[in-house]
Amino acid sequence: MSLLSGILPSVLLAGGLTMPIPPDPQIEPNINLYDSEDLYGDEPDVIALEVSTIRERLRGLGYHPITSMKFKNGRWSVIAYRGKRARHLRVEPNTGWVLSDRPADGR
């Protein structure tokens, strides 16, 4: 077996895996498949964690007291203290993960 017979199929296979998939002509071209009103809703999905569970997870991470918790734009917006500093948190409702942690006073 020559070197070219082993390399050439590998190159062709790798090239085929990186080629873009052509669009499906059956799909309407101007719709955004990843956008939905549920994504930016005013209340959590049915699969979202309970508020008490989110609070417990934040306390476990050292955020206490929690002074404000509002659901907007598909995420929990939380004002909580870590140590003596107020923090503004954005929390994912289905997992309880902290997506952002910034000073609440803007500094």
Q: Is the pLDDT assigned to residue 104 strictly greater than 80?
A: yes
Domain ranges of the chain: 3-103
Query: According to the model, what pLDDT value does residue 56 have?
Result: 95
SS3 per-residue string spanning 73-106: CCEEEEEEEECCEEEEEEECCCCCCEEEEEECCC
Query: According to the model, what pLDDT value does residue 106 have?
Result: 67
Give the tens place of pLDDT for each residue, 28-77: 555 554 445 555 667 787 888 899 999 999 999 999 999 999 998 889 99
Query: According to the model, what pLDDT value does residue 62 have?
Result: 94
More confident residue, 5 or 61: 61
Query: According to the model, what pLDDT value does residue 40 have?
Result: 61
| Alpha-carbon gap, residue 54 to 39, rounded angstroms | 19
Query: According to the model, what pLDDT value does residue 51 have?
Result: 92
Query: According to the model, what pLDDT value does residue 93 have?
Result: 92
Q: Residue 102 corresponds to which tokens in the numbers above?
A: 């910034």
Q: Is the pLDDT assigned to residue 78 strictly greater than 90?
A: yes
Q: Is the pLDDT assigned to residue 3 strictly greater than 80?
A: no
Strand partners, 103: 87
